[in-house]
Every structure is written in structure tokens, then in C-alpha cells.
Structure 1
Amino acid sequence: MPFNLQRKLLVLLGLVILIALSSSVLLRNFVIRDFKAFGEGRMLDRLYQVQAVLEGRYEQSGGWQRDQVANDLVWAWLSGIELRLYDVDNRLVMDTGQALASLSPVMQQRIAASSSRRPLPPESSEFQSYPLFLRGEEIGHLDLQLPHPIYEAFFIRSSNQFLIYSLLGLGLTAVILSFLAARRISRPLQELTAAAEGLANGAPGPRVRAEGNDEIGRLATAFNRMADSLEAQEQLRKQLVSNAAHELRTPLMIIRGELEGMIDGLLPTTPEALQSLHDEAARLATILDGVDELSRAQAAGLQLQRQEFILLPLLHGIISRFSRSAEEQQVTITLSGDQAVTAWIDPDRFTQIITNLISNALKAMPHGGRLEIHLSATPHARYIEVSDSGSGIPAELLPHVFERFAKGKDGGLGLGLAIVKELVAAHNGTIAASSSPGNGTCFRITLPATTGGLHEHD
């Protein structure tokens, strides 16, 4: 079974969970150790206090007085220590039981009530001996017995139970959440992988779901855009091949028919017949040149040499090339706009765009008219409008003017505006057409003001 991304994520999250739970156990051990050390320290402090009190009592009384040390042994008992006090000759002075018995019945009841929850030391426990000194001389010793550490045991038992429950509860919750997280993270990546493999094998297949705005969501969105673009390019390629084959078929059939007629002796081999063949061959060359030009326009985005140009002088230079043709056709060309408007463009490709638009406009006005080119700008975009007063574009053809081999009533290959659209798109711009029959046509080009968002290719 392959070790896929989901299993890798589960293993990684499992290690993180294991480390987190192990740190909890380690922390608990440190807490218990410090708690035991704290309890032992407190008990030693009480023992030293009892020793100091008894030594002071001996000095005050000049010896061991049973009635005076009784209260001290009761106080020691209330502090959790059972004592047996011996003099220097190892004779028992008093123990905790005798001290409690010397109290009044009321005091015994109160002390019994206050210490009822604290168990007595087991009978088998051994006493520990601590000597008592006064001015460097031994005055007796204490045998003491500590009660069973019930509070410490309760704390340790409670902490163990809490640790077990928390490890089971939190560990199980963490495992479930890790599984869900690994599945949620890996599922879109698995879909992306399957879709990418299908795309690589030539089967685009369904698009992946783009959920959220994180890196995976943006990756899915970018993949869908790429798949849409590839699918659209494939459709365009097929359409281009189909349209080109259709356009090439007619002149080829004419050439083939005339050549077969000449071979069979049905048609004379005259200069006129040869001229007809030459015209059809020239038509074939024109079609192929147009397709080649369209292919170069589609690849222009990878070859543009962008520079910042002042548009008005550049437009004026392009218009001057058509001054003679416009004069012969009695077409008036006007140019208007802000002198300081600039744009980042490839001057050669931009010139090709405007040249194609002006050529189409002049073809639409063979008997005179007006051609107006207007330049305007906003902080984020530049606009070039090319308007003519020709016959206009029929309404049914207007939505298709930028498609390949879309021919108007004036004939032609129908590739000029498709080339213009590709070149404008290479500049990260857009072009739109508006027209009404008998009132002329207007093409509006929108270009970005700067190179922001563009891909520079030198």
C-alpha cells in the first residue's frame, strides 16, 4: 500500500500527539516529585519546631515536667507527629497517648474530632530517634512516628486518575481531529493530483473544488483556470485547423481541377489559365500567411519588448502612413487626446494593432468619410478609440468580429481582428467593438497604465 500524503500527515500528527502526551506525563512526574519534597520539608520544619519547644521547656523548668510537656506533645500530635519523650537516662517521660489522656474529656473530644480524618500510624511502624540538647549537653531524646501521608496519597491518586482520563480523552480527541484534518488537507490535493494526471494524459475531466482562500484553495482555483485555458486553447486550435482546412480547400480544388483539365487536354495551357492558377496559389499563400501571423500574435505574450511610450506621437506616426490612401478615398483622419498620456507597450506590436484597425476602417469607407482616433486616460488605464463613419457591422456579425475567419461583406480572410485581439491580450488589455448599420463602427482598446500584474519577457 503506498505511503500517501494522508498517511504521512497522520504519522506526523501522531508523533506530535505522542510528544504532547509524553510531556504531560513528564510534567506530572515533576509535580509529584516537588510535591513530595514540599511535604517532607514541611514535616521536618515541624519536627525542628517541636525539638526547639521541648528544649526550651526543659531549660525553663530546669528538667522534664510531665504536666508542662503534655501540652507540647498534644500540639505535636495536632501537627501530625506522634512522640515519645525520654530523659537522658532513657526513661520514658511521656508519650502522645499519655498526653492526650491528661486532657479534660471536652478537650479530648475536640481533639478527636479535629483529627478524626487523619489516620493513626500503623502499630508496626518503627519510631525514629532524635536527640535533644541544651548548651551542647544531651538532655534526652525523642522517638517520633509520622502518620500515613493520606493527603499526599490522595493527591497522587487523584493526579494519576486525572492523567489517565486526560490521556485517554484528549488523546482520542486529538487522534480523531488529526484524522479529519489529514483527510481535509489531503483530499483536495488528491483531487488535484488525479485531475493533473488526467490533464497530462489528454483527458481534462472535471474541475477540482476550490474551498477556502488558503494556499490549497488558491492552488485549486489556479488549476481550474489553467485547465479552462488549456481546454479553450485546444478548442481554438481545433477550430483554427478546421477553419484553415476549409479556407484552403477551395483554392486547392480549383488548382487541382484546372491542372487535371490541362493534363487531360480539356483546358488549354494559355497565359490566362496559368494566371488563374497563379492567383489561386497566391490566395493559398495569403491564407497561410494569415494563419502564421495569427500564430505569432498568439505567441506575442512571450516575446513582447515593453517600453514606456508617449502614445500621441506614436499614433500620429502610424496615421501618417495612411495619409495618401485617405486622401485618395477622401477620408478625413483626426487624432485627439492628452499629449502626456503614456503606456507600457511593445511599439511594433502596438503599431500592428492600430494599423489593422485603420486598414479595416478605410475599407469600410471607400467613397469618403471620417476616421477619428481619440486617446484618453485614467490613473489605472489607457483608452484608444478608433471610430469610422462607414457602413457599420451587421448586428448578427458583431458578436463574432474577433473570431477566426469571421468574414464581413467586404470579403478578406477574417483574421485581421482576431490578430488584433490576440495582440491586445498580449498587452494584458481588452478590445471591444460597437456598431450600428449605416452609422459606422467604434473599436475601444483598454490598456493598463503600468506593468503591474504583467509578465515581462525580454
Structure 2
Amino acid sequence: MGWDINLSVREMLKSLWIKFLILLLAVSIIALSAAFMLRELMVKDFRGYLEGEIEDRVYWVMADLEAMYDKYGEWNRDVVTEDVIWALMLGLEIRVLDMNKSVVMDTEKAIISLSPLMMKRVMSVSELKSSSKSNRFFPYTLFLGGKEIGRMDVRFLKPGKESIFVERSNRFLLLSLFGLGGLAIFLSIVFSKKLTNPIKRLASAAKSISEGNLKKRVLVSGNDELSSLSKTFNKMAKTLELQEALRKKTISNVAHELRTPLCAIQGELEGMMDGLIPIDKKNLQSLSEETGRLKNILEGIEELSQAEASALSLRKQTIELKPFLKNITERFSKLFFDKDISIELQCNDNIRVDADPDRLSQVVINLLNNAIKATDKGETVWIRSSEKEKEIIIEIEDTGCGIKEEDIPFIFERFYKSSKGGLGLGLTIVKEIIEAHGGKIEVRSEHGQGSVFTVHIPL
């Protein structure tokens, strides 16, 4: 069984790691896709911006050439050369043609005419690489006063800024691909370990408990759902441990309680069989008393098992508390009279509680019996009832011998007896019944001064 648990846990943890990895990789792919789309949009907008700006530059150069022609009345090669160099620095390779389609000046001739230093500076600013796949020139007609004066052929050079931007964006996407992929794997390992380590501890603890080690607990860290699960597991393990200890203690106590009358019965029967004890009414009466004691023990155990059973069926109904308590005290009137004990009932009218009348009567009767046993002649027992903060309170107070301080923590445990007589199950049954109603019972007592048992039942 332990091997099956370990195998299933390993498979589950492996599955969790793979699921984490797939999830994080999917998130990374979505993020990269979004980044790629954003990059494409940005590059497209950037190129649109550059194309618009280059188109403006073409018209700047055209306007300057037309102004120069208007000033000189002809194509001045020196001035045209300056415009060609200027166009080159703007990212345009041009050639200027006159009306006879003769080349007045082009970029190559203009560069050759420059001094070496100036040529180096111009070439450092712009490279003679066309951005067009066909490397063709685009013609732009030059006008002056509505009359054609020549033509400017333009070939667009590849903008350096565009190349740098596209290259960097591609590099960024590549780095993001490897970075996010590696990060996804790393985070899947980290988070899977963070998640699976508590699960491993829980699985190990569950295996130990299944093998009988009910003292096993798991380490609780953090304040998340897994820590809450660990706390719940520890609480369950503690409950199992207490129940197991209680089971062993119950078996031991039952065996002890049964042993005494059985031994007495066996001894008397053997004596009768051996002829040592006469078979007369007196000895038969003794056997009957021991048999009755056995019957009482078994009935007490049965009553306790019914009271503490989770399936305890409470037949709840609305009870008028004052007449209910008054009816119980009247049933005890002869017993109180015979022992010369007074009983005082203090209960307000119109106090109602939803409870099982038979079970609640069993609680009150059990507490009254204890009060009668503890109270001396001429003393008083009080029964009080009140309603306070969404609960009904029933108090039974006596002025009897009280309970020793060292005994108080144990009086509700099964088979616990602070004095001779009884089974030690009465208060245990009372506690189980009250808790089945969702309430609680408390005790205040001082040895030699009496006791007060307080029952709380929620409305």
C-alpha cells in the first residue's frame, strides 16, 4: 500500500511539473506573440514615418533646385553639386537632368569633386545602398512658373536608423525567446517544487499514519491554501491519535469494569460447585446483584455509544423551558423530600429552546442526581435558566462537597470516577448530548463549597 502511495505521488508530482512547464511556456509564447505583433506594428509605423519624411526631403531638394534655376536662369553645376551632396546626406541618391535629358550632375560625380576629408565625412553619414530591390531611380519633374525646366531622378538609400531599429528589434525578440523560455523552465521547476514539497510531506505523513504512526505531523509554513491543508491534516491526525488513545483507554476501562463483577460471579459459582458456599437465597441474591451490575455497565456503555455517535438522531422540537424543568423537579420531589434537601427553580417565563426533550431531560436528570449525591441534609439545590446572547443557559448549583481542583479537568472523561460508586460515564454522556445540540457544558467548583454546572445551548 505504501509503495502504491509513493508511485501515485511520483506520477502526480511529475504531472504537476509538466503542467506548470506547459502553462508557463504557453504564457511565454503568448507574450512573445504579442511582442512580435507589437514589434511589427512599431516597425510598420516607423517605416511609414520614414517614408513620409523621405518624401518631404525629396520636395525640399526639388524646391531648392527650382529656386536655384530661378536665380541663375540656368543649371549652375557648382550649386547643383551642393544640392546633390545635401540630398545624399538626406538619404537620397539623385541625378539632375536638363530639358535635353543630359545629366547636369549626379551623386557619383558630386562625391568625386569633393576633397578627401569632405568625401569621408559625407560617406560616413550615408551609404550608397539602395533600399529598393530594383535599384531603379524614380523621376520627379522640375518646374518653374508652370514650365518644365528639367528632371530629378531619385533612388532612395536604405536609412541607417531603420536598419538599426529593425536589427535591434530582431535581437530583442531572439533574446526574449531564449530568455522567456529559460525563465519558464526555471519558474516551472521553482513553483512546482514550492507546490509539490508540501504535497510530498503530506503524502509521507499519510503513509506513516496508514502504517500506524499516528504521531506523525507535517511542517506548516506560509499562510496559503497548502498551509491550510497542512493544518487540517495535522488536526485530523491529532483527532485520529486521540480517538485511538480513547479507544484503547475505553477497552481497558470496560475490561476493568467488567472484570470485578465477573470475578465475583465466577468465585461464588465455583464455591457453590465445590460445596463451599451454600446455594441459598442470600447467595443467589448476591449473584443477582453482580449480574445487575454487569447489566448496568453494559447499558451505560451502550448509552454512551449512542450519545457520542455522529449519527445521533436528535428529535428536536420547541420546548417551553419553565414547565419542562418544573416537570423534572416534581419527579424528583420525593427523593429531595426523603433526603431533606430543598430545590429551587428560577426560570423566566417564555424561554424557548429547540432541543430533543428526551435527551435534554436526560442531561438535567443526570446533573440533578449528581447534585443530590453531593448535597448534605438540609442544603439546597438550585436550577436556573436564562436567555443571553443568542443562547439558552441552564445552571444546576449545589452546596455539597464540591470537586477537587485536580479532578476538574477529567470529570467529563469516560470511566473517570473521583469517588467510589458509579460507572464514571454520566458526565461523559451529558457532554456528548450537549455537544450534539451544538452547545457546551462548563463547571465551577470548589472542594467543600459546592459546584455549578452550566449548560449552553445555542438558539
How would you bin the TM-score normalised by the shorter chain?
Answer: 0.7 to 0.9
CA–CA distance in 2 between the matches of 1:400 and 1:425? 17
SS at match of 1:371: strand
In structure 2, what is the equivalent of residue 255 of structure 1?
Answer: 265
In structure 1, what is the equivalent of residue 342 of structure 2?
Answer: 332
In structure 1, what is the equivalent of residue 428 of structure 2?
Answer: 418
Query: Which residue type is aligned with residue 194 of structure 2?
Result: R
Shift of 1:385: 1.8
Identity across matched positions, percent: 35
In structure 2, what is the equivalent of residue 80 of structure 1?
Answer: 91
Shift of 1:287: 0.5
Shift of 1:252: 0.9
Structure 1 pair 129–394 and aligned structure 2 pair: CA distance change class (3 A): closer
Residue 132 (str. 1) matches residue 138 (str. 2)? no
In structure 2, what is the equivalent of residue 370 of structure 1?
Answer: 380
Give the structure-2-normalised TM-score.
0.82
Residue 21 (str. 1) matches residue 21 (str. 2)? no
SS at match of 1:8: helix
In structure 2, what is the equivalent of residue 282 of structure 1?
Answer: 292
Shift of 1:224: 1.4
CA–CA distance in 2 between the matches of 1:157 and 1:11? 35
Query: Which residue type is aligned with residue 416 of structure 1?
Result: G
Shift of 1:407: 2.6
Q: Deviations over 1:335-382 (max 9, x none)?
A: 224435444433322221111001111122363420012224432544
* Contact 1:240–1:404 under 8 Å retained in 2: yes
* Contact 2:215–2:237 under 8 Å retained in 1: no
Shift of 1:386: 0.9
SS at match of 1:4: helix
Q: Deviations over 1:194-242 (max 9, x none)?
A: 3234334443241112323322222221221122112111211111111
CA–CA distance in 2 between the matches of 1:262 and 1:339? 61
SS at match of 2:125: coil
Q: How many residues align?
A: 444
Query: Which residue type is aligned with residue 158 of structure 1?
Result: R
* Contact 1:306–1:345 under 8 Å retained in 2: yes
Q: Which runs of 5+ in 2 are unaligned?
A: 1-6
Alignment partner for residue 325 of structure 2, among 315, 331, 334? 315
Which runs of structure 2 are paired with 1:292-303 in the superposition (5 Å)? 292-299=302-309, 302-303=312-313
Residue 203 (str. 1) matches residue 213 (str. 2)? yes
Alignment partner for residue 233 of structure 1, among 234, 243, 257? 243
Give the structure-1-normalised TM-score.
0.83
* Contact 1:248–1:287 under 8 Å retained in 2: yes
Structure 1 pair 54–88 and aligned structure 2 pair: CA distance change class (3 A): farther
Q: Deviations over 1:152-207 (max 9, x none)?
A: 22223323333444444454444333322211111212222232343344432411
* Contact 1:121–1:146 under 8 Å retained in 2: no
Alignment partner for residue 266 of structure 1, among 260, 263, 276? 276
Query: Which residue type is aligned with residue 97 of structure 2?
Result: Y
In structure 1, what is the equivalent of residue 155 of structure 2?
Answer: 145
Query: Which residue type is aligned with residue 121 of structure 1?
Result: L
CA–CA distance in 2 between the matches of 1:408 and 1:383? 26
Shift of 1:246: 0.6
SS at match of 1:447: strand
Structure 1 pair 273–300 and aligned structure 2 pair: CA distance change class (3 A): same
Shift of 1:384: 2.2
Q: Deviations over 1:396-437 (max 9, x none)?
A: 433332222223445121211111122222233332323333
CA–CA distance in 2 between the matches of 1:66 and 1:13? 74
Query: Which residue type is aligned with residue 86 of structure 1?
Result: L
Which runs of structure 2 are paired with 1:210-225 in the superposition (5 Å)? 210-225=220-235
Alignment partner for residue 8 of structure 1, among 10, 15, 20? 15
Query: Which residue type is aligned with residue 10 of structure 1?
Result: W
CA–CA distance in 2 between the matches of 1:355 and 1:223? 39
SS at match of 2:441: strand
Which runs of structure 2 are paired with 1:93-112 in the superposition (5 Å)? 93-96=104-107
Bigger mean CA deviation after superposition, 227-236 or 139-148: 139-148
Structure 1 pair 227–312 and aligned structure 2 pair: CA distance change class (3 A): farther
Query: Which residue type is aligned with residue 232 of structure 2?
Result: A
In structure 2, what is the equivalent of residue 388 of structure 1?
Answer: 398
Q: Deviations over 1:75-104 (max 9, x none)?
A: 43342101012235431122246667999x
CA–CA distance in 2 between the matches of 1:338 and 1:161? 86
SS at match of 2:252: helix
Q: Which runs of 5+ in 1 are unaligned?
A: 451-458
In structure 1, what is the equivalent of residue 166 of structure 2?
Answer: 156
* Contact 2:32–2:176 under 8 Å retained in 1: no
Structure 1 pair 166–198 and aligned structure 2 pair: CA distance change class (3 A): same
CA–CA distance in 1 between the matches of 2:295 and 2:81? 129
In structure 2, what is the equivalent of residue 92 of structure 1?
Answer: 103
Structure 1 pair 100–308 and aligned structure 2 pair: CA distance change class (3 A): farther
Bigger mean CA deviation after superposition, 343-352 or 241-250: 343-352
CA–CA distance in 2 between the matches of 1:340 and 1:298? 31
Query: Which residue type is aligned with residue 90 of structure 2?
Result: S
Structure 1 pair 37–395 and aligned structure 2 pair: CA distance change class (3 A): closer
Which runs of structure 2 are paired with 1:13-92 in the superposition (5 Å)? 13-26=20-33, 27-28=35-36, 29-31=39-41, 33-34=43-44, 37-38=47-48, 41-42=51-52, 45-46=55-56, 49=59, 53=63, 65-66=75-76, 72-92=83-103
Shift of 1:310: 4.7
Alignment partner for residue 413 of structure 2, among 403, 411, 414? 403
CA–CA distance in 1 between the matches of 2:295 and 2:71? 135
In structure 2, what is the equivalent of residue 455 of structure 1?
Answer: none
* Contact 1:372–1:386 under 8 Å retained in 2: yes
Structure 1 pair 176–300 and aligned structure 2 pair: CA distance change class (3 A): closer
* Contact 1:195–1:205 under 8 Å retained in 2: no
Shift of 1:271: 2.7
RMSD: 3.6
Shift of 1:53: 3.4
Query: Which residue type is aligned with residue 151 of structure 1?
Result: K
